[in-house]
Amino acid sequence: MVTFEQSQKQELDNVLEEAEKFHGHLGPFLVLGVRMGLIGVREVKAKENNNKLRVTATLKYSVPFSCIIDGIQVATKCTIGNKKLELTDSSGITTEFEIQNKRKVTVALNPATFSRLKNKMLSKDVSPEDTRKLALMVASMPEEELFIIGSK
């Protein structure tokens, strides 16, 4: 028997692997994007490759924040190229998911959690091994600790 948690964990692992290949490395911000994307798809009840899904990501358009974008693209298949992903350059990290004229869900990075992790996540002299470790830690953190999910 595979529990719901196990199948979610398996899905996250699969998408993270795909995202790492696409993005070139595994870092904490890429993981944030993948997790936000998967939560959004789940919360608006979009099936994979749902044609009506649109995503708007609001974040600072510079590395490492912009790494989030690639995570979102891999997890949702809404991309800059297919114009289903829109970017708003701003402070804060929030992503809005919408099934046209139906459901709308916002997934925001919990500011309290981020301020606790910020120094580690934004530190410049971190080895690739430690970046990876940090990414895996972010991957295993409880969803409710990392994100604030709201629906309209």
Of 4, 62, 67, the residue nearest 31 (C-alpha): 67
Which phi and psi (to 5°) does residue 15 adopt? -70, -35
27 is a site residue for Zn ion (CB under 5 A): yes
Residue 32 as a binder of Zn ion (CB under 5 A): the answer is no
- Smallest gap from Cβ 14 to Zn ion, in A, equals 19
Element (H, E) at 67: helix 67-76
Q: Give the total of residues touching Zn ion (CB under 5 A).
A: 2
Alpha-carbon gap, residue 148 to 152, rounded angstroms: 13
Per-residue interface string for the shown chain with Zn ion, residues 68-107, x marking contact by CB under 5 A: ----------------------------------------
Among 38, 53, 67, 134, binds Zn ion (CB under 5 A): 67
- What whole-number distance in Å separates Cα of residue 123 and Cα of residue 29? 13
Return the number of the residue (17 or 144) whose C-beta is nearest Zn ion.
Answer: 17
Residue of closest CB approach to Zn ion:
67
- Taking the least distance from each CB to Zn ion, the nearer of 31 and 46 is 31
Sheet-wide strand order for 104-109: 85-89, 53-59, 94-99, 104-109, 147-151
- Bridging pattern class, strands 53-59 and 85-89: parallel
**25 or 52: CB nearest Zn ion:** 25
Backbone angles phi and psi of 79, in degrees to 5: -130, 170
Binding of Zn ion by 40 (CB under 5 A): no
Question: Shortest Cβ distance from residue 31 to Zn ion (Å)?
Answer: 10
Binding site for Zn ion (CB under 5 A): 27, 67
